[in-house]
């Protein structure tokens, strides 16, 4: 379980997006779509092996293996979503299954039906009772700041570089609370 | 001690129905309040109240959640055959974070030790000890007075007064191992009994320390 401790050499690379794996606009609603203010969706039938990147909110209901980088956007891993990747986003909500480290500049929320294996690094972490979680959560503000800086993530922006460890919560979420 | 404010109170809170006054748990929280960074191993599941509590301190929490299949795996490995330690050790290792991370200062076992066969408990705590700093503490709730216990481990969470509340669903009863101090001394992987308190529900609250 913890043997996926993938610290170290994960670099942020410049690999192209795997847009080829997404269906064209003419496909039915489950295909990826986006627009200003809209949430892009990776539907249940979509499988992507590689890097997923963007600057808009994204909901994943399909299978992703690789990395997910949404520099200034919110990611939701829906009930059907299965992500085997390190994830970098402004905020991350997990209602499905993830295996990998989660980095957020604002917050990570793990819902009651989620199954998460990996380390969480975020200023705020919410864990709902009933979820399955194995991994670490850093509650030391200083260490979270360092970890986010190491992956080149901060509220000032910046692209993720590589991975490391976890972080606390503040009142209202798990360093304070979470939802429950 | 108030979990909300962190201020010490003059006396321990009274027991109330469903909430267990646990003085050694309170001792651990006092240690956290003394400051500094602590790495905590939670052998139980992630719980919001516990993470809220730990979130007040400079902690990193590693959550192993052995109740999610880990206990069964350890007991099955322990039952394989006499002397087949390699499989049991490997099982214990796989359930814990890698040993090259920061060592644990605190380990919350809750009532999980009661659900492990002696060999399984020994293998688990040996692996935990290898990841724990010298003089690190392990906290456990050991069934002592009762001959039976719930079929599944509890979901223990602290309330605002640092009493422990068991949120587990009602379940059938199974025989309790009723580990003696001698049993625990043999099977806690090198952790030695530091203190014990008999709780209102008949369990022994125990603090173990990894000696120098």
Could you tell me if A123 lies within 8 Å of chain B, comparing CB atoms? no
- What is d(CA B118, CA B135) in angstroms, rounded to the nearest whole number? 23
Domain boundaries, chain B: 19-209
Over residues B14-49, the pLDDT tens digits come to 555 678 999 999 999 998 999 899 999 999 999 989
Q: Hey, are the CB atoms on B46 and A166 less than 8 Å from each other?
A: no
Write out the H or E segment, with its range, that includes residue B137.
Answer: strand B132-143
Q: Is 50 exceeded by the pLDDT of residue A8?
A: no
Query: What is the chain B residue with the closest CA to A124?
Result: B55
pLDDT at A168 > cutoff 80: no
CA B95 to centroid of chain Cα atoms: 15
CB contact under 8 A, B51 and A2: no
What is the predicted pLDDT for the residue at B11?
47
State ipTM. 0.84
- Residue B198: per-residue pLDDT: 94
- Quote the CA–CA distance of A163 and A150 in Å, as a whole number: 7
- Residue A40: predicted pLDDT: 95
The token pair that represents A12 in the structure block: 């942020």
Assess whether pLDDT exceeds 90 at residue B123: yes
Among B39, B53, B38, residue whose Cα is nearest residue B2: B53
- CA distance linking residue A16 with residue B104, whole number of Å: 41
Model confidence at A7, pLDDT cuts 50, 70, 90, reads very low
Q: Is the pLDDT of residue A166 over 90?
A: no
CA distance B192 to chain A (A): 26
pLDDT at A170: 41
Phi, psi (5° rounding) for residue B196? -145, 150
For chain A, the first-to-last Cα distance in angstroms comes to 26
Cα separation, A5 vs A3, in Å, equals 5
CA distance B127 to B116: 14
Q: Quick one: pLDDT at residue A97? A: 98
CA distance A100 to A78: 16
A8 CB near a chain B CB, below 8 Å?
no
In angstroms, the CA A72 to CA B56 distance is 28
- Collapse the DSSP code of A23 into the 3-class scheme (helix H, G, I; strand E, B; otherwise coil) and give the result: coil
Partner-chain contact A132 B58, CB within 8 Å: no
User: Which residues of chain B have a CB within 8 Å of the CB of A133?
Assistant: 45-46, 63, 65
Nearest to B32 by CA among B49, B13, B55, B14: B55
* Rounded-to-integer distance, Cα B143 and Cα B159, Å: 21
CATH of domain B19-209: 3.40.50
Mean predicted lDDT score pLDDT of chain A: 75
Structure tokens at B66: 């052995």
Tell me, what's the pLDDT at A162?
40
Q: Which residue has the tokens 């049991």?
A: B88
A with B: how many residue pairs have Cβ under 8 Å apart? 92
Note the pTM of the prediction, 2 decimals.
0.80
Give percent of chain A above pLDDT 70: 64
Q: Which of the 8 DSSP states describes residue A128?
A: -
Number of helices (H), then strands (E), belonging to chain A: the values are 1, 11
Query: B35 to chain A: nearest residue by CA?
Result: A140
Chain B residues within an 8 Å CB radius of A110: 46
Q: Is A135 on the interface with B (CB under 8 A)?
A: yes
Q: Work out the average pLDDT over A117-143.
A: 92
Q: Is the pLDDT of residue A92 over 90?
A: yes
């Amino acid at each position: 379980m913890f043997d996926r401790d993938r610290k170290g050499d994960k670099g942020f690379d410049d690999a192209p997006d795997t847009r080829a794996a997404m269906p064209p606009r003419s496909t039915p609603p489950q295909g990826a779509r986006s627009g200003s203010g809209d949430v892009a969706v990776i539907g249940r039938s979509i499988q992507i092996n590689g890097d997923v990147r963007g600057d808009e909110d994204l909901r994943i209901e399909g299978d992703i293996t690789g990395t997910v980088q949404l520099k200034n956007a919110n990611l939701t891993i829906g009930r059907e979503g299965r992500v085997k990747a390190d994830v970098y986003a402004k905020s991350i909500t997990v209602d499905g299954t993830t295996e990998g480290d989660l980095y957020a500049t604002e917050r990570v929320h793990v819902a009651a039906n989620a199954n998460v294996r990996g380390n969480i690094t975020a200023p705020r972490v919410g864990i709902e009772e009933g979820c399955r979680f194995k991994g670490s959560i850093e509650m030391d503000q200083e260490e979270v700041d360092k970890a986010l800086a190491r992956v080149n993530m901060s509220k000032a922006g910046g692209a993720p570089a590589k991975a490391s460890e976890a972080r606390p919560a503040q009142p209202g979420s798990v360093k304070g609370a979470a939802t429950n | 001690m108030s979990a909300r404010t962190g201020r010490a109170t003059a006396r321990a809170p009274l027991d109330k129905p469903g909430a267990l006054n646990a003085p050694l748990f309170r001792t651990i929280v006092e240690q956290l309040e003394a400051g500094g960074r602590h790495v905590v191993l939670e052998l139980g599941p992630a719980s919001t109240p516990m993470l809220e509590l730990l979130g007040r301190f400079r902690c990193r929490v590693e959550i192993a959640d052995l109740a999610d299949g880990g206990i069964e795996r350890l007991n099955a490995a322990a039952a394989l055959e006499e002397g087949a330690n390699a499989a049991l050790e490997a099982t214990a290792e796989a359930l814990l974070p890698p040993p090259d991370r920061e060592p644990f200062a605190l380990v919350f076992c809750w009532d999980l030790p009661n659900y492990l066969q002696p060999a399984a408990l020994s293998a688990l705590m040996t692996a935990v000890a290898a990841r724990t700093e010298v003089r690190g503490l392990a906290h456990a709730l050991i069934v002592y007075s009762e001959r039976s216990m719930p079929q599944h481990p509890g979901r223990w969470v602290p309330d605002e007064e640092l009493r422990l509340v068991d949120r587990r669903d009602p379940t059938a009863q199974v025989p309790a191992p009723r580990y003696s101090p001698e049993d625990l001394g043999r099977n806690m992987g090198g952790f030695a009994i530091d203190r014990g308190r008999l709780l209102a529900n008949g369990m022994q609250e125990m603090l173990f320390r990894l000696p120098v």
